[in-house]
Structure 1
Amino acid sequence: MTPKQRYEKDLQRTDFYSDEAQAHAVEALDNLYHQWIEYLNQPVVRPSVWQKLLGKKTHVSQPPKGLYMWGG
């Protein structure tokens, strides 16, 4: 279940209220969630022996950046 799906499910409860700031936070978390899924599903790139000997670098993607959240 994605963060957005969980939030939408929680909104159906009687003790849970919709909030614009929460909706924006959930959207950001959902985007980050999908970035991590995409990152983790990438094939692992291992340099060949020749690439190691010649010093060629293989492209390794950087992990997604996180979120800083605050509130009160």
Structure 2
Amino acid sequence: MTVNEGLRAMAGFFILLSVALGNWVHPAWYLFTAFVGANLLQSAFTRWCPAMAILRRIGLREEAPRESTSH
């Protein structure tokens, strides 16, 4: 798994979790959903996201190795 794939998986998990908690526990959890969305939006423009530093630190690679097409 790459850093970008890990970031998408983490964001998706947190969004689904916070929507579920907002629905079944308390509507204030929707604020966490908004926070994740705002962080994704700002990272699209700044190319900086705190979660990416964490994912790199735990050992995820930057991109998948390229397969050679020559034999």
| Higher relative contact order structure (alpha carbons within 8 Å, sequence separation ≥ 6) | 2
TM range (shorter): 0.3 to 0.5
Q: Under a length normalisation based on structure 1, what TM-score does the superposition of the two structures give?
A: 0.36
Greater C-alpha radius of gyration: 1
